[in-house]
Structure 1
Amino acid sequence: MDYNGRPGALYPLSRVETGALVEITSADGTKHDYRVVTRRHVVKTRLADTGVFRTDGPPRLALITCGGAFNTTTHSYRDNLIVLALPV
């Protein structure tokens, strides 16, 4: 979420709401619109078990960043924030 006291590139995900529109621009300049359908925190050690990395099924956008409580000993967040969005 942040680095050295400054918000990171995905910091706004901490405030995105279900139903929000997300616009992605491909390397070739093509724009793609998605609508957020879920937003949840999972403990980092359980991220692979969420199915977020699946390659089958319909297309979707998965945005993942750090979240939850910050551990000052390990200098790491406990959780990952997962935002899933479907094409519109």
Structure 2
Amino acid sequence: MEIQLHDMVVLTSNIRAKQFMGDRWVLLRRGQVGTVVEEYEDGKAFEVEFSGTDGQAFAMIAVKAEQLISLHYEPLELDLAS
């Protein structure tokens, strides 16, 4: 499945990012969870917002599609007859 706007995604590698609304740098680690807020170049890259458990954004960066995995909460139903 393709990544869509508002999908929850996970980073596949570490990425340095400038702190959202700040001057400090943070390390977004492999496995860091974020939300897609914008799509670029027909799905080749996405703007992803990363927030803490308190809901406050701590980073927002553009990430290449191949550096992301989309999270799924429901199984994909299969038609066993075909």
Same fold per superposition (TM over 0.5): no
Q: In proportion to residue count, which structure has more strand? A: 1
Q: TM-score, normalised by structure 1?
A: 0.28
Q: TM-score, normalised by structure 2?
A: 0.29
Q: In proportion to residue count, which structure has more helix? A: 1
